[in-house]
């Protein structure tokens, strides 16, 4: 079968490497199918270009994967319209965290034939086999489809336990020279970066998270290092962004991978997503030795009661100790704070602001966003239960207009009070950032004109 996978445009200059498409492409190639990538993300094609492309090129199937969010939703509808307008319209399949929680809604909105729910590698191959053999789709686990005007939602497919068995992403089908230019925390001007997955899933169940596959399934150290070696040898990658939800899934796992990186002799910088209850000095020192330059921590709040509401399984003491440990070994910590969870107040918000100011090392601009009850998350279910949302149509078509605006107000404040509080908080954080930039530029001036630094390369670098 000839398959077109769409990497849609999110209007960034350098876009994040489309890992989902790369994994699907690798699997399709393994099973003998022809795969092409439609790189709207790189070329910024207008959506109408896709219609023309499908009119001029014959494909048996077209696939679109997307996450939840106001932009992704609107983009999926535009891409779907372009596909449906084609005179050679292929069999249309959608998937990802966006359509999975409510496939009936997305089948009707996009006109797709099938929604692949959850992990797609095994399901997609089985789906194609059924289509090629003209078999009914009723026994394909992990899909939803329309039959006789009704949406059929088949049982979920079990998770892929052996993630090492999944073929490596088909990097050769993508313009890696573009994606490797993405800028990450503490990356050098001449470094080339790429994301990879060290595993799938997460051991925690935060109430705002819609990536709710149970448990963590880690890749072997050997598999991870094989992929990094491939990227270095073929694309000169020297910065790895471990993009899975939680590389630091345990102390033992984190130390094992860090030691394996050291023993491999491979040299690269890297960052990962981490947990502060695992941020122990012995762990962080080994990570630093292995090349780690940044750990992105999901803190979300600096208030113990709110952390319980969120099901973070963290305390403010663990947060402070873990952040200080991270700074002490010379790794930059990333701080994520959100505002507006159930019962949250201005006072709780300001605790988060004070925390961000206290531990700011200048590696990133710090801002705070409202919490969003994405479909599939426990917070979404709570919003439905409390009458704050009617259904998924209300979420996407009425309430969720932007990730920096309220979707639902879970706080005791009015909407006006909420916006006043978050505006004040971000003004403090932005003033702090601008003051730091000014101090850094003043130091550069002194170095240039007082120290007469002949290595200076100019103020304007773009």
3-state SS class at 418: helix
The rounded distance, in Å, linking the Cα atoms of 269 and 283 is: 17
User: Could you tell me the sign of the dihedral formed by the alpha carbons of 21, 22, 26, 32, in that order?
Assistant: positive
Mean pLDDT per 10-residue run, the chain (462 residues)?
97 94 98 98 97 98 96 97 98 96 97 96 98 96 96 96 96 98 92 97 90 85 98 98 93 97 97 95 98 95 97 95 96 93 97 94 87 96 97 97 96 98 97 92 93 88 59
Q: Determine the Cα–Cα distance for residues 442 and 447; give it in Å rounded to an integer.
A: 9
| Contact of 363 with 185, CB cutoff 8 Å | yes
Question: What pLDDT shows up at residue 212?
Answer: 63
> Look-up: residue for tokens 């994405």?
374
The number of CA neighbours under 13 Å toward the Cβ of 144 is 22
Assess contact for 171 and 22: CB atoms under 8 A: yes
Domains and their CATH numbers in the chain: 2-153 (3.40.50.280), 180-412 (3.20.20.70)
Question: What three-state secondary structure class fits 98?
Answer: coil
**Positive or negative: CA dihedral 8, 100, 271, 171:** negative
Is 115 in contact with 144 (CB distance < 8 Å)?
yes
Which pLDDT score is estimated for 461? 62
Residue 296: both structure tokens together = 């992105």
Predicted model pTM: 0.94
Q: How far apart are CA 399 and CA 189, in angstroms?
A: 40
Distances (CA, A) of 393 to 13, 25, 225, 401, 433: 31, 31, 43, 12, 38
Q: Is the distance from CB of 289 to CB of 258 less than 8 angstroms?
A: yes
Cα 165 to Cα 220: distance, rounded to the nearest angstrom: 10
């Amino acid at each position: 079968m000839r398959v077109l996978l769409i990497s849609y445009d999110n209007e960034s200059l350098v876009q994040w490497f489309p890992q989902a498409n790369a994994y699907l492409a690798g699997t399709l190639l393994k099973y003998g199918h022809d795969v092409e990538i439609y790189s709207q993300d790189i070329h910024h094609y207008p959506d109408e270009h896709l219609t023309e492309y499908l009119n001029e090129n014959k494909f048996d199937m077209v696939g679109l994967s997307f996450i939840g969010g106001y932009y992704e939703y609107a983009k999926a509808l535009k891409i779907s319209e372009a596909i449906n307008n084609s005179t050679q319209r292929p069999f249309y399949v959608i998937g990802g965290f966006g359509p999975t929680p409510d496939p009936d809604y997305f089948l009707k909105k996009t006109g797709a034939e099938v929604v692949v729910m959850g992990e797609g590698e095994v399901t997609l191959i089985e789906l194609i086999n059924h289509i090629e053999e003209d078999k009914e789709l009723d026994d394909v686990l992990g899909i939803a489809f329309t039959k006789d005007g009704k949406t059929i939602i088949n049982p979920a497919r079990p998770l892929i336990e052996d993630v090492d068995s999944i073929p490596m992403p088909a990097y050769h089908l993508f313009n890696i020279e573009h994606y490797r230019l993405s800028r990450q925390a503490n990356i050098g001007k001449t470094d080339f970066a790429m994301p990879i997955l060290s595993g799938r899933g997460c051991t925690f169940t935060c109430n705002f998270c819609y990536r709710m596959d149970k448990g963590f399934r880690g890749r072997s150290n050997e598999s991870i290092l094989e992929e990094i070696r491939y990227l270095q040898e073929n694309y000169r990658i020297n910065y790895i962004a471990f993009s899975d939800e939680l590389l630091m899934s345990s102390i033992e796992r984190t130390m094992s991978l860090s030691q394996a990186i050291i023993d491999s002799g491979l040299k690269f910088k890297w960052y990962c997503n981490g947990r502060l209850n695992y941020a122990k000095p012995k762990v962080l020192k080994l990570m630093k030795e292995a090349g780690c330059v940044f750990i992105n921590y999901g803190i979300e709040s600096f208030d113990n009661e709110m952390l319980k509401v969120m099901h973070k399984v963290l305390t403010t003491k663990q947060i402070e100790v873990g952040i200080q440990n991270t700074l002490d070994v010379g790794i930059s910590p990333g701080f994520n704070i959100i505002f507006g969870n159930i019962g949250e107040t201005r006072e709780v918000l300001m605790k988060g602001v004070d925390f961000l100011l206290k531990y700011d090392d200048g590696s990133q601009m710090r801002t705070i966003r409202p919490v969003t009850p994405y479909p599939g998350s426990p917070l979404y279910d709570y919003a439905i239960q409390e009458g704050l949302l009617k259904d998924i149509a209300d979420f996407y078509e009425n309430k969720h207009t932007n990730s920096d605006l309220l979707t639902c107000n879970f706080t005791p404040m009015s909407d006006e009070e909420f916006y006043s509080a978050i505006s004040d908080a971000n003004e403090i954080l932005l003033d702090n950032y601008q003051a730091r930039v000014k101090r850094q530029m003043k130091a550069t001036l002194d170095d240039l004109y007082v120290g007469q630094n002949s290595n200076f390369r100019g103020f304007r670098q773009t």
